[in-house]
């Protein structure tokens, strides 16, 4: 993905914005592709809903996990680079991704994670909800939070994210301003916001003396927020530019349209449209089965497939907590 560049496009035709509709997806960096599939589709039971490549680096897979059809808000995506060095968490980064599981299910999750030999911590209450932290094979910090109905099966979506920042104020202003989030709670070193109809949470954690993180395997590349459609995205983009942020032009990601910018604390944000979605080139039953390339890369399919490592996906999908 290209780094954001400053844009001075005219925003005179912008209408009013309505804030973002919640989380669209979270994208992280991994090392071994097979280890990534084995963990997220196997140990966590998510569905691999799209197997494609990084459009800006087609020699690398881009793997999407989510619910049965990859709805926005359920998606975790990864760039697995086999030779990637492990990154370090620090300031200016997304440092925790929380996943929603059913009320009363953490006991079953402990059994499942222990069976898969997943590194985890003991459950504890966070903001009145039982939660448990664990690490993926690259050390990425995840959290299971009981926020879904008790009859829900498996992981039902992304419940929230946490950003570690040196100064919380500028990011707080952006979240409650252009992005339309609600500031709900304030601790001594932590602020909580909610976004969208589903009420996903965003925690800002103060770390004024913490060094910036180093990108690598086990770190989170960017967080994407939902826009209803291209008009909504255009309105948000105009408001961000008007607010002095450098925002990329719209980029075609085949399954959604995207813009990128860095929020004042340094975290890379994306705003992605809900459509057209993952069913544009696969049926619900076929999702994630074959390598899908955008039309502009189909002519290089042979070369790209020769660069990508073998990836076994059968026998590891599905399962519940």
What tens digit of pLDDT does each residue of 239-273 get? 999 999 999 999 999 999 999 999 999 999 999 99
Percentage, residues of the chain above pLDDT 70:
92
CA distances from 309 to 41, 66, 221, 257, 312 (A): 18, 22, 22, 28, 10
Helix (H) or strand (E) holding 146: strand 141-148
* Ramachandran quadrant class, 20 (left: phi over 0; alpha: psi -120 to 50; beta: rest): beta
Alpha-carbon gap, residue 64 to 194, rounded angstroms: 24
Quickly state the pLDDT bin for 316 (edges 50, 70, 90).
Answer: low
- Mean pLDDT, rounded, for 225-239: 97
Strands 57-66 and 124-126: unpaired
**pLDDT value of position 315:** 59
CA distances from 109 to 97, 101, 114, 125 (A): 17, 9, 8, 16
pLDDT in tens, 103-136: 999 999 999 999 999 999 999 999 999 999 999 9
pTM of the model: 0.92
Quickly state the pLDDT bin for 2 (edges 50, 70, 90).
Answer: very low
175-179 long-range Cβ contacts below 8 angstroms, 24+ apart: 175/202, 175/204, 177/243, 178/17, 178/19, 178/236, 178/239, 178/240, 178/243, 179/19, 179/20, 179/225, 179/236
- Average pLDDT for the chain: 92
Q: Which of 200, 126, 212, 127 is nearest to 158 (CA)?
A: 200
- Mean pLDDT, rounded, for 262-291: 97
Query: Is 255 or 313 the better-scoring residue by pLDDT?
Result: 255
- Residue 10, pLDDT above cutoff 60: no
- Residue 67, pLDDT above cutoff 80: yes
214: three-class secondary structure by DSSP: strand
């Amino acid at each position: 993905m290209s780094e954001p560049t400053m844009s001075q496009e005219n925003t005179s035709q912008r209408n009013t914005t309505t804030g973002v509709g919640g989380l669209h997806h979270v994208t992280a960096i991994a090392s071994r592709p097979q280890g990534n599939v084995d963990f997220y589709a196997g140990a966590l039971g998510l569905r691999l809903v799209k197997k494609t490549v990084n459009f800006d680096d087609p020699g690398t897979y881009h793997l999407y996990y989510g619910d049965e059809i990859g709805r926005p808000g359920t998606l975790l995506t990864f760039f697995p680079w086999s030779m990637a060095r492990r990154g370090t968490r620090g300031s200016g980064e997304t440092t925790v991704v929380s996943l929603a599981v059913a009320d009363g299910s953490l006991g079953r999750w402990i059994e499942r994670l222990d069976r898969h030999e997943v590194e985890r911590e003991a459950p504890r209450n966070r903001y009145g909800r039982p939660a448990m932290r664990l690490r993926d094979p690259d050390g990425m910090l995840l959290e299971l939070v009981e926020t879904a109905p008790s009859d829900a099966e498996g992981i039902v979506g992304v419940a929230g994210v946490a950003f570690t920042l040196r100064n919380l104020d500028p990011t707080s202003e952006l979240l409650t301003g252009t992005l339309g989030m609600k500031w709900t709670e304030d601790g001594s070193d932590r602020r909580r916001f909610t976004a969208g109809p589903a009420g996903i949470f965003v925690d800002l954690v103060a770390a004024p003396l913490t060094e910036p993180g180093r990108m690598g395997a086990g770190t989170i590349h960017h967080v994407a927020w939902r826009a209803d459609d291209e008009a909504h995205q255009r309105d948000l983009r105009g408001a961000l530019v008007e607010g002095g942020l450098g925002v990329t032009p719209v980029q075609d990601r085949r399954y959604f349209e995207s813009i990128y910018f860095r929020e004042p604390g340094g975290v890379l944000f994306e705003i992605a449209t809900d459509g057209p979605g993952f069913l544009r080139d696969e049926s619900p039953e076929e999702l994630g089965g074959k390598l899908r390339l955008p039309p502009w890369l189909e002519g290089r399919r042979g070369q790209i497939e020769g660069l990508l490592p073998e990836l076994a996906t059968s026998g590891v999908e599905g399962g519940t907590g």
